[in-house]
Amino acid sequence: MTLISSHDLWLLGEGTHARPYEVFGAHPGMQEGVSGTRFALWAPHARQVWVVGDFNAWEPEAHPMALQGASGIWTVFVSGATCGQHYQFRVCQSHGAIVMKSDPYAFRAELRPKQASVIEGLQR
C-alpha cells in the first residue's frame, strides 16, 4: 500500500515540493475506514526504520516502516495512534547502529531534556 502519492514522491525527489510538512511527520486521519496516524520520514541511508511511542508501549519493533521505492522515504500507518501521544523514530543506520530520532517535521514536541515528538494534526 502506498501511503504517499506518486506525485508527492516525484516533487519531493526533485526538491520542489512546496509543502513537505503535509507529507513528512505524523498525520492523524483515516486509512481504509480505520482511525490512526500516518508516519513518514526521509532516511535515505537507513537499513530499517520503526516508529515507537505510547501507542505501542515503546515496543522497539512493533511498527516497522516501509521504504517507498528508491525515494529514501519510509512510511507506516498505525491504527489507534491518536493526537497527544508521544513518539520517536528508531533508525538502523547504514553502519548498523540504532538511534532514536525526534521527528523534524513534528508540529509539537516535548520540552527539553525530553526528546519525544507528539502527534498533532495540521492546524489550518
Q: What is the mean pLDDT of each run of 10 residues along the chain (124 residues)?
A: 81 90 94 95 96 98 94 96 98 97 96 95 74
Residue 89 CA to residue 116 CA, distance in Å, equals: 9
Are 41 and 50 a contacting pair, CB within 8 Å?
no
Q: Note the pTM of the prediction, 2 decimals.
A: 0.92
Q: How far is CA 29 from CA 12, 54, 66, 91, in A?
A: 22, 17, 19, 24
